[in-house]
Structure 1
Amino acid sequence: MPVVSNAVERIPVNAVGRDFAVGDIHGCFTKLAIAMGKVHFDPQKDRLFSVGDLVDRGPESHQVLTWLDQPWFYAISGNHELLTWRRALGNPIKEVDHRQHGGLWLDACSPEQQQRIGERLQALPWAFEIATPEGPVGIVHADFPYDDWRKIHEQEFSPEDIDVCHWSVQRYQQQYPHAIKNVRAVVHGHKTINRMAQLGNVYFIDTGGWRSGGHFTLLNLHTLRPM
């Protein structure tokens, strides 16, 4: 399956405030804003990092560009960004029907809006490496195919590897316990679970904030504690 191929983006340390990672948002930005209020998020100092899947399923996917325009909001590409921009730019992924996976909202957008959304989502990186006071933290949407984070910076990190980063649930399904070397932690979404899970130094934080009865987990990247 074709994948986005943008580079890993390195983010410098936040020396004045907190950094949070949040699980899949899926067009539920009002609910996310409420969760941010509960942790007293300060947009003048704090930063929020999305693990991907900003859009589809929820009622506010059309607000995605407003959020991406915020200077404190950072996002990588998840599989739903991939589905959205491919269809928005006229080259849908044939193997997956975006409309059946929460993508009907895109049809309500004008052609001009679809073009802007598609171009913006296409430009998202597919991984973050965020500097923290205790060492770098990686963010990848779904899974990581190796036990060494340095692989992500090597030329042989292949399109198939990026495909794993967008779609795989193998590490979680197999409850693979080994840590990923040369990184403090790696944070994933994609797999919706009732409460945050940890396998080695890998954190799964999609706790279904976009679902009825779910909640958004905001993981403090400086302390690695959920809030």
Structure 2
Amino acid sequence: MTWIEKHGENHQGRDFFVGDLHGQYHLLEQAMHEVDFDPSRDRLFSVGDLIDRGAESFRCLSLTFEPWFHGVRGNHEVLAHDALAQGTRGAWELWQVNGGGWVARHDVHEVRVSLEKALRHLPYAREVTVAGKRIGMVHAEPPRDWRLLETADHAIEQALVWGRTRIHSGDCTPVANIDAVVVGHTILETPTTLGNVHYIDTGAFHTGRLTMIDARDVLAS
């Protein structure tokens, strides 16, 4: 499993970051339509939590197989994997109370196989070069120094998919050795920036608001 995948400049089109989808495929379609997203030229970077709560979770999971879509794994992908791979009652119940009920509308074996394949395309972090600068992306909370991802341990892994220490404390300390970082996980009224960390989860499932931002605007804010 690769901790981080890196992407060079997109010289053909634009790059966008999108917040937690949670099965709201129709909201993603609307957002892409509003910016005239061109899958033959543009790239979409997703902060994770593609699944759970929303009825279109399986369709959102399938996005990982599209060449223009580049996501990271969120805590809900981890919950689903634990439930489907371990098969224990506790892991299954934890997933269900956290939005995994959509699986009842599908063949469980098909979902398990698709999730396993999808996770191969969902590293814990991504880094993309935009206008000569580097933007990192994780689901929940980046390490204090971006270089720590090269030798990440279990504690960092947990923070990447579950952490909220920075946002809860209002920590504006910039993450070192990266120009900007985009994250999701924590639902906010509007996109918020602390230091060089940009929080873009505006609660698509709960609020109907899905944030999609041009990568150039991340660098400008």
Normalization by structure 1: what TM-score?
0.89
- Tell me if the contact between 1:85 and 1:117 (Cα under 8 Å) persists in the aligned partners: no
1:114 counterpart residue number: 111
Structure 1 residues 50-65: aligned runs within 5 Å? 50-65=46-61
Closer, same or farther: CA 104–41 of 1 in aligned 2, 3 Å: same
Matched, 1:83 2:83: no
AA matched with 1:82? V
Give 1:33 shift.
Answer: 0.6
Give 1:86 shift.
Answer: 2.0
AA matched with 1:129? E
AA matched with 2:139? H
Whole-Å separation in 2 of the counterparts to 1:15 and 1:79: 32
2:215 counterpart residue number: 221
AA matched with 2:218? L
Whole-Å separation in 2 of the counterparts to 1:130 and 1:47: 10
1:167 counterpart residue number: 162
Tell me, what secondary structure is at the counterpart of 2:117? Answer: helix
Q: Alignment partner for residue 18 of structure 2, among 19, 22, 36?
A: 22
Identify unmatched segments of 5+ residues in structure 2.
none
Matched, 1:206 2:204: no
Q: For structure 1, which segment, 99-108 or 65-74, has the greater mean C-alpha deviation from structure 2 after superposition?
A: 65-74
How many aligned positions are there? 218
Whole-Å separation in 1 of the counterparts to 2:187 and 2:12: 32
Identify unmatched segments of 5+ residues in structure 1.
none
Runs (4+) of structure 1 exceeding 6 A deviation are: none
Q: Alignment partner for residue 141 of structure 1, among 130, 139, 142?
A: 139
Closer, same or farther: CA 164–65 of 1 in aligned 2, 3 Å: closer
Whole-Å separation in 1 of the counterparts to 2:88 and 2:4: 24
- Tell me if the contact between 2:127 and 2:136 (Cα under 8 Å) persists in the aligned partners: yes
1:126 counterpart residue number: 124
Whole-Å separation in 2 of the counterparts to 1:141 and 1:200: 17
Whole-Å separation in 2 of the counterparts to 1:107 and 1:193: 30
Give 1:65 shift.
Answer: 4.1
Whole-Å separation in 2 of the counterparts to 1:142 and 1:56: 16
Give 1:149 shift.
Answer: 1.0
Matched, 1:46 2:24: no
Whole-Å separation in 2 of the counterparts to 1:56 and 1:111: 14
Closer, same or farther: CA 70–118 of 1 in aligned 2, 3 Å: closer
2:4 counterpart residue number: 8
Give 1:43 shift.
Answer: 1.2
